Structure formats: structure tokens, C-alpha cells
Chains A and B, each alone.
Chain A
Amino acid sequence: MRDYIWPWQSNVMMKHPWALPILFLILAVILSFVTWFRSKHAPQGQGQEQQ
């Protein structure tokens, strides 16, 4: 069980290879909320970085 805390370690990657993808997915969803919260800070010129 403790392995799941360190899913990037090589031994964990060999034994439970799906641990890292699951961690990433969970983090991605959580961080998407951060994006949603911060979307008010989106500058008007968003996307006009390089023309």
C-alpha cells in the first residue's frame, strides 16, 4: 500500500505500472479546478502571444 505514495519510483513502476497514470489523472483533474478558479485572471489579450 505504501508503494502508492511513490508511484514514480522504479520498483513501483514495475509492480504497479498503472499507479503513475492514475496519479497524473487525479492531479490533472484537481489542477483543472485551479485553472477554473484562476480564469478570472485571464488577460484580455490571451492567445495573442505571437502573430
Chain B
Amino acid sequence: MEIISRHQLLTISIIYQIGTTIIFGFASGAGRDSWLAVLISTCLGTAVVWIYTRITHFNPGLTYIECYPAQFGKLLGTPIAWLHPLLFLYISGRIVADIKNLVPTTILPGTPPWVILLFFMLVISYGLFAGIEVMGKLTEIILPIILLIYLIEVILIFSSGVVHFDNLSPLLDKGWGRIWEVVWPLGIIQSFGESLALALVWTLMNERKRVGRTMIISSLFAGLFIAFTDALAVAVYGEEIFKRATYPMYALIQAISVSDFITQLDATGVIYFCFMAFLKTYIYLFATIRSIQKLTYSNSSRVFIFPVVLIALFMGLTMAPNVVEHIAVVQKVIPYNPIYLSLMIVFPVLLFLVSWIRNKSGTAAS
């Protein structure tokens, strides 16, 4: 049985939740108030994550997936549980497609995308084979490096003299409307609903009681991080460009130009993104494999690695012919897609209530 420590869970969650939003952002619709939208999403999202952790708390010993059949009965609970690995698989396919649309267009224009993705999936497979313990150690080592690189980026941005804080004001002159548009449902789903996949990891932590606290710390930190980056992006580019940018954060790195010496560091941004995407995909595939393992009562998870990776690769390759369509799906379809909403918000809330009530009556009776 693998065990990860609290610190490892923290580092995994932080990197995961900062994840791909650091490049795509979800709040560009809110213009210059995006950072505010992010902060609000953070508060609400942290509450959602807390609900997830409470569910595992009320069902001791069971992974998140097993709570559904346990609480809702086998007939209803098992199909709901099965929806999760399918969703996770789809989302990991999305991230693979993200890479397919980003890397060949920015840093490796001559290389066929399937080779790039194949390499990616190979490393992911090795990581899956090695186990989550190894990934925990990996993130432990790499998180400080990531933060350091980010700090250097920020310093370089300020040194490039492109930051204009007056871009950020006036605040809220277009009203709260567009903020709410972004926060619900996209904001909550994008960074915090996706933490659902982390729930499969929680049972492997060595101090179960501290899971909730760890996740709250990580969610808040990630939210602040993204809010800051958003604000910086607006400060550099102004509202209009920010709203139209395909990759708002990536655009930030493109702005670095220190005395003509350090310029054009786009590739670093892409590499940064690749690593974040790597971890997110890893966690999603790990969650998928673990869910399938639990739902089919198998002893070993290794047998599922190959098919799951292959399916994710195939989906990613065929998902979107270009980045515009891909992002359009995120903006227009996903927020209203019943799968996302139900799995990430509706069902957990129900599960939480049911588990809570059962737990209360259980302790009252005994």
C-alpha cells in the first residue's frame, strides 16, 4: 500500500490546482476584474473542495468512488460511480489535446503532433507504473523550483517596464454581472471541481485527519496565485487584449524583454505549462485507473495502465482540429454540460448530506 505524506499531498494539490489555468485562465471574460472573479471563485471553490473532503471523512476507509454505492445503494450508486472514471478520462483527453494545440504551434513547429504526444504519454505511463508515492516525491522536489521560476519571471516582467497598474482600475465599472458569469459555473468547475480527481489520492495519505486542512491551504494558495497572475496580465496588457488572448498567461511571458538581452522566453512558458499538464494528466489517469480498480475489485492497477493511456491519447489526438474550437468548447459547452455540473457539484452535495445524516444518526444510535 502506498503512502504519501501530508507535505507531498500539499505539493501535489498546489501544482494540480494551479495546473492548466495558469495558461488558459478562465476569467478572461471578466476583463480587468478577472482577479476579483478568481478570488471569489477561490472562496466558493474551497468550500466545494471542503465538501469533497468531508465526504471521505464521513465514510472512513472508503475511497471517494466507493462512497457512492455505499450511500446510495448498489443500484443507483454504481452507475454514478462509473461516471467518474469516464469523466476523468475525458478530461485527461482534453489536457492532451491542450498540449497538441500548444506545443506544435509554439515551440516545435516541424514535429508531427502525435510523436510529441506519444513521448508525453510514455513518460506518464512510466510515472503511473512507478506509483503515486514517487509522484509525491517528484512534486516535493519540483514545487520549489516552479515557484522560483515564477518569481524570476515576475521580477523579469517588472524589469521590462511593461507593467501599468492603472490598467487595473477603475474597478467594477462594468458591474458585477460579468464577474458572476465567469464565476458560475466555469470558475468553480475549472480549478476546484477538478480537484475531485484528487479525492482518489486522499485515502493514501498517512494522516487522514489533516486532509481537509491540507486541501484548504492548497486551494487558497492556488487561487491567490492565479489571481495574482491574472492581475499582472491585465496590468501588462490592458483589458481588451487580455479578453481576446488565447493564452493569457503565456502572453505574460512573451512580454518579458529586459534591455534587449533577455527576450522571447516563450519556450519557458510552454515548458512550464507542459509540466503542469503532465501532473494534471497524471492525476486524472491515476484517478481513472484507481476508480476502475476499485469498481472492478481488481488486485492490481497495472493492467489498466496501458488501455487507459491509449484511450486518453486517442481522444486527445482526435478531439479538436484547432485551438479555437477547443477553447470554444470550454467556454460554451462545458459549463452547461450536465455531467460536469452533476458530478462536481450536485452529486457531491447530495452525497455529503446523506453521509452526514447517516453519520449523525449512526453516532447517535451507538
Contact = CB atoms under 8 A, between A and B. Distances in A.
Interface in B318-366: 318-321, 325-326, 328-329, 332-333, 336-339
B1, B61, B93, B336 — most chain A CB neighbours (10 Å):
B61
Interface in B35-72: 60-63, 66, 70
Query: Interface SS of chain A: helix, strand, loop or mixed?
Result: helix
27 contacts: A8-B90, A8-B315, A8-B319, A10-B326, A11-B321, A11-B325, A17-B333, A17-B336, A20-B90, A20-B339, A24-B86, A25-B83, A28-B79, A28-B82, A32-B79, A34-B295, A35-B295, A38-B296, A47-B66, A47-B70, A49-B1, A50-B61, A50-B203, A50-B205, A50-B208, A51-B61, A51-B208
Interface in B123-141: none
B329 A14 contact: yes
A42 to B, nearest CB: 5
Interface residues of B, number: 40
Contacts of A24: 83, 86-87, 339
A38 B332 CA distance: 39
A5 B39 CA distance: 40
Nearest to B336: A17
B339 A10 contact: no
Nearest to A34: B296
B82 A21 contact: no
B308 interface: no
A41 B299 CA distance: 9
Interface residues of A, number: 32
Interface of A: 6, 8-11, 13-14, 17-18, 20-21, 24-25, 27-29, 31-32, 34-36, 38-39, 41-43, 46-51
Contact of B63 (A17, A38, A39, A49): A49
A36 B328 CA distance: 39
B79 A9 contact: no
A7 B332 CA distance: 16
Contacts of A50: 60-61, 203-205, 208
A22 to B, nearest CB: 10
B337 A17 contact: yes
A8 to B, nearest CB: 5
B337 A21 contact: yes
B333 A9 contact: no
